[in-house]
Amino acid sequence: MNKETIYPVLLAVPESARKLPPPSRVKFLSRHARKALAVSAQKSNITLGDLNKNAEGRPLPFDGIHWSLTHKTDYVGGVVCRAEIGLDLEKIQPRNTRALFGKTAAAEEWAIAGGQSWNSFHRLWTAKEAVLKAAGIGLKDLSACRLVEVIDPCNLVIAYQDRLWPVEHYFFGDHVASVVSRGGAVEWTLLKHAS
């Protein structure tokens, strides 16, 4: 397993962009996330190549470099790595249905996580989505991802496709971000403005 340092970058979304109509906001967030990706590439000493996606919209590696983007209303993120990588981000807040707990994890997983709470829900959701992004699979396989170990408040392990995927979390404000850590060092960067 590659143990290079991973540099996920999170970037605040300007207030003006948050007020854009939905189609324009989605386009802005996608472009803004690529700015975070560029900072991750710079920190990783990687020159960004063509950022192409397959027919399902999943990122295709360039020159052996994998990349992942995430975007929400308040923040976006990007990360590059020389191995499969996935990044996800969510605002920690109650949702309109507790049925999401059952769809996100089995009872055994909630026991490992220390019980059901919105904090642990978002931690598991972002971890599993990061793993699925790294594997190049969509959310349809969410139930196939299983929490197998909580290492500490910021690290856990997900089992998926006969592999163990270490995931590191970064909590900031009322948000949590998760990145497939590959068992190596992770250096998070939180930026208020793109440079």
Domain ranges for the chain: 9-191
Dist CA 169 CA 132 (whole Å): 16
First to last CA, the chain: 33
Burial of 36 (0-12, 13-18, 19+ CB in 10 A): buried
CA of residue 67 relative to chain centroid, distance: 11
Average pLDDT of span 70-90: 96
Count of other CB atoms within 10 angstroms of residue 21: 7
| Main-chain dihedrals φ then ψ at residue 179, nearest 5 degrees | -135, 145
Q: In this predicted model, what pLDDT tens digit does every residue of 7-57 receive, in sequence order?
A: 999 999 999 999 999 999 999 999 999 999 999 999 999 999 999 999 888
Specify the higher pLDDT residue, 109 or 57.
109
Helices (H) and strands (E) in the chain, counts: 5, 9
DSSP structure class, residue 139: G
Q: Rg of the Cα trace of the chain? A: 16
For domain 9-191, the CATH architecture is: Alpha-Beta Complex (3.90)
Residue 91 banded pLDDT, cuts 50, 70, 90: very high
Specify the higher pLDDT residue, 143 or 80.
80
Residue 176 has pLDDT above 80, yes or no: yes
Average pLDDT, the chain: 94
Q: Which residue has the tokens 């003006």?
A: 16
Residue 1 banded pLDDT, cuts 50, 70, 90: very low
Average pLDDT of span 59-82: 96
Residue 3 has pLDDT above 80, yes or no: no
pLDDT > 90: percent of the chain: 84
The pTM score is 0.94
Q: In this predicted model, what pLDDT tens digit does every residue of 121-149 receive, in sequence order?
A: 999 999 999 999 999 987 788 889 999 99
The structure tokens listed for 6 are 């991973």
Q: Report pLDDT for 195.
A: 66
CA angle 153, 156, 160 (to 5 degrees): 160
